[in-house]
Amino acid sequence: MGGIGKTALAVEAGHRARAKGWFPGGTLFVDLRGYDDAPVTADQAILALLDALGVRGTDLPPTTERQYDAYRALLADQQDRMLLILDNASDPSQYLPLLPGTDHHRVLITSRDRPDALPVRLIDLETLDPDDSVALVSRALCDTDERDDRPTREPDALRELGDLCGHLPLALQIAAAMLRRRRHRSIASLVAEIKETGDPTTVLDNGSRGTDQYGRSLVLRPVLETSYRRLPPDQARLLRLLALAPGAETGTEAVTALADLDQETVLSLLEDLAATHLVTPVRDGEGAASVMRWRLHDLVRAYGVSVVAGDVRLRMEGEAARERVLGFYCRWAGAADARLRWLPRMVEPERFRDRSAALAWFDGERAGLVAAVGWAREERYAGAAVRLALRLGEYLDWRRYFDDWITVAGAAREAAHRAGDRRREAIASGHLGLALGEVGRVEEAIEAHTHARDLHRDTDDRHGEASTWNNLGIALHVAGRVEEAIEAHTHARDLHQDADDRHGEASAWGHLGLALGQVGRVEEAIEAHTHARDLHRDTDDRRGKANAWNNLGIALRKAGRVEEAIEAYVEALRVYQEFGDWYGAGQALFNLALAHETAQRSADARACLLQAANAYTRGNAPTQAAQARAWAAEFA
């Protein structure tokens, strides 16, 4: 892409090659200005090349055809190898006539466009690694003033500046030039200025006054603008819309919804944009299961957003596109969520044949889904964004992405409250409470669940009220208010029984059993977990049954019935593993280790702990994995 450092790399390579004696015949360099308003043609470039080779004045052939002949003849007669650098080409017609016609010499061509039709070796340049971005700016400041210690004093701000510049060399050079001029100001001040505007291209260009080592102005937006203006209308439209997509990477299906085109047309346009290095293809997975995603550089995205913002017609086009992609996400997130919650005798969800397919779709689209929920702050998209947020809860809980869950649930609750939708506000508040509880923010969780309970009660939603009583009990239990938790779970159980909701009743029985066990009422706890297990079995809820077996094992171990506890844990582990619930498997294995330790079987306990660590790792629970490994080490 523009600003990636193509010219700098080609020139540096040329200098190093000459220093090694690879090109004793010398180097020829032509800037073809391929992205200017008036690019240099091959016919114009041949005159400059002949002049560099000493052919000028009366020695210059009178016709273009003879000029090319003279050029090739000179190169053919040149015994010492030469290097030809043809810089900044936008079309093969600019450089094909300039090739030497012999493999004795070498040619480097730089371009923003990928010439796939030509038999040339292609080197695609990526943005810099974060460490290299830091080194570039640090060196630029130190070379000017060796006393400039800002990079050493502000390492975090410098890294953030690199991120805001998208690790693009041109943007980093401009930032370094601004810092040199602002030598009495901190790096953090420039970071704050960029973040405040939300558009790095504007800040960097407004503060840029210098030129690079090739005499070209250090400006960013014109580089992006020339690439954009050269695009055909359909490619330019897709680039603008892709800049509005939620998330850093977007799957082909979502791009299709965004553009309102068929998938084959979208793929063709995306491939064309990738050839101009304005879009980067990213493949997730391997083989037949792999998925193609498409990424815009952050600065290209910022430029695209600014183009849309500056035109009323383009804003309307963009708003319609965002509505389409929200509709796409809502539909398929709803289907995937239904598959995750599916139980026998329920209607089969569309598209996703099993839980693994639903989870794979969620995994691939997670960043875009979470970002799209953020659109709930805008009234136009609030309703759809809230619906989307509520369809993500089960998945985010399953994968233990609790920070994301807090983000989407909080946005949904706020938007539903603004819209006066008390039912959805209650559901979102319940989701928020569960997520807050998982990260240890217990008092906030209790507050969220209490708010949800009151809203469900006010809207006469007995099922919602029952579920929220159960969730409130969980938070109260974690907060050490166990007697209140027992009351809450008992209330939830009774409400579920009155509604003949056997699935909800089973959950309430299970959590009631945990609270009873906490206060030493072990026999009652065993009875409660047995009720939960049987109800989950009757509703064919395998995950719920696994939880009930695991919890029953805990109560049996407390009652001193260790061998029965081990049997319960083994049954739980079997179902968790079948289900692909690796966090649950880790819990069952950890509990098995406890039981084996009680039975003084240290080798078995250690083996279970090592297996638990692996399961926790697969279940995105690194803290628990570390705890299991640490305990296993004590048995070594």
pLDDT band at 579 (very low <50, low <70, confident <90, very high): confident
3-class state of residue 251 by DSSP: strand
Rg of the chain, C-alpha, whole Å: 32
Amino acid 287: pLDDT: 55
The first and second tokens of residue 106, run together, are 């070498």
Strand partners, 84: 28, 107
Cα-Cα-Cα-Cα dihedral sign, residues 180, 181, 182, 183: positive
At a CB cut-off of 8 Å and minimum separation 6, what does 42 contact? 93, 94, 95, 96, 97, 98
pLDDT band at 222 (very low <50, low <70, confident <90, very high): confident
Amino acid 444: pLDDT: 97
Q: Which of 197, 221, 245 is the last residue before a domain boundary? A: 221
Cα-Cα-Cα-Cα dihedral sign, residues 512, 518, 520, 522: positive
At a CB cut-off of 8 Å and minimum separation 6, what does 162 contact? 128, 130, 133, 134, 137, 172
Instruction: Give yes or no for a contact between 226 and 220, defined as CB atoms under 8 angstroms apart.
Output: no
pLDDT at 386 over 60: yes
What CATH number corresponds to the domain at position 60? 3.40.50.300
Instruction: Give yes or no for a contact between 326 and 375, defined as CB atoms under 8 angstroms apart.
Output: yes
Q: Is residue 244 part of a domain?
A: no
3-class state of residue 226 by DSSP: helix
pLDDT band at 204 (very low <50, low <70, confident <90, very high): confident
Q: Is residue 119 part of a domain?
A: no
78 shares its domain with 149: no
pLDDT at 214 over 70: no
55 shares its domain with 149: no
Amino acid 542: pLDDT: 86
Strand partners, 280: 295
**Closest listed residue to residue 621, CA positions, set 439, 472, 478:** 439
Amino acid 574: pLDDT: 93
Amino acid 376: pLDDT: 87
Q: Is residue 22 part of a domain?
A: yes
418: left (phi over 0), alpha (psi -120 to 50) or beta: alpha
207 phi, psi to nearest 5 deg:
-95, 0
DSSP string of 374-397, one letter each residue: GGGGSGGGHHHHHHHHHTTHHHHH
In this predicted model, which residue has the larger pLDDT, 329 or 58? 329
Q: Which of 187, 221, 255 is the last residue before a domain boundary? A: 221
- The edge-to-edge listing of strands for the beta sheet with 106-111 is 27-31, 83-89, 106-111
Q: Is residue 26 part of a domain?
A: yes
pLDDT tens, residue by residue, 123-132: 999 999 999 9
pLDDT at 215 over 60: no
pLDDT at 107 over 90: yes
CA 339 to chain centre: 24
What's the chain's length in residues?
636
105 shares its domain with 149: no
Q: Give dist(CA 518, CA 212) in Å, integer.
A: 70
Alpha helices in 199-311 (DSSP H): 200-206, 221-229, 233-243, 252-259, 263-275, 298-309
Q: Is residue 196 part of a domain?
A: yes
162 shares its domain with 86: no
pLDDT at 423 over 70: yes
Instruction: Give yes or no for a contact between 265 and 237, defined as CB atoms under 8 angstroms apart.
Output: no
The first and second tokens of residue 139, run together, are 């060196």
22 shares its domain with 92: yes
Q: DSSP assignment, residue 217?
A: B
142 shares its domain with 195: yes
70 shares its domain with 136: no
Over residues 205-215, the mean pLDDT reads 64
pLDDT band at 250 (very low <50, low <70, confident <90, very high): very high
pLDDT at 285 over 70: no
Write out the residue range of the structural domain in which residue 195 sits: 130-221
Over residues 610-628, the mean pLDDT reads 93
pLDDT band at 202 (very low <50, low <70, confident <90, very high): confident
| Type of residue numbered 124 | D
118 phi, psi to nearest 5 deg:
-105, 145
| Type of residue numbered 54 | G
Strand partners, 251: 293
What's the whole-number average pLDDT of the chain? Answer: 92
Alpha helices in 38-186 (DSSP H): 42-52, 64-77, 92-95, 130-144, 150-153, 155-164, 169-181
90 shares its domain with 158: no
| Type of residue numbered 83 | L
10 shares its domain with 87: yes
pLDDT at 211 over 70: no
457-477 b/e with 16+ CB inside 10 Å = b?
eeeebeebbbbbbbbbbbbbb
Q: Give dist(CA 428, CA 413) in Å, integer.
A: 5
| Type of residue numbered 198 | G
Q: Return the minimum-mean-pLDDT range out of 216-220, 234-238, 427-431.
A: 216-220
3-class state of residue 88 by DSSP: strand
Over residues 208-226, the mean pLDDT reads 71
Q: Give dist(CA 514, CA 530) in Å, integer.
A: 12
% of the chain residues with pLDDT over 90: 80
pLDDT tens, residue by residue, 508-563: 999 999 999 999 999 999 999 999 999 999 888 888 999 999 999 999 999 999 99
Q: Is residue 635 part of a domain?
A: no
99 shares its domain with 134: no
Q: Is residue 500 part of a domain?
A: no
Q: Give dist(CA 614, CA 608) in Å, integer.
A: 10
At a CB cut-off of 8 Å and minimum separation 6, what does 63 contact? none
Count of domains observed in the chain: 2
Q: Which of 221, 248, 272 is the last residue before a domain boundary? A: 221
* Whole-Å CA distances, 328 to 218, 257, 368: 41, 6, 11
pLDDT band at 159 (very low <50, low <70, confident <90, very high): very high
Strand 291-295 to 280-284 pairing: antiparallel
Is 306 exposed, middle or buried (CB count within 10 Å of its CB: 0-12, 13-18, 19+)?
middle
* Whole-Å CA distances, 41 to 2, 35, 100: 20, 12, 17
Q: Is residue 322 part of a domain?
A: no
Q: Side-chain half-sphere of 49: how many Cα atoms within 13 Å?
A: 33
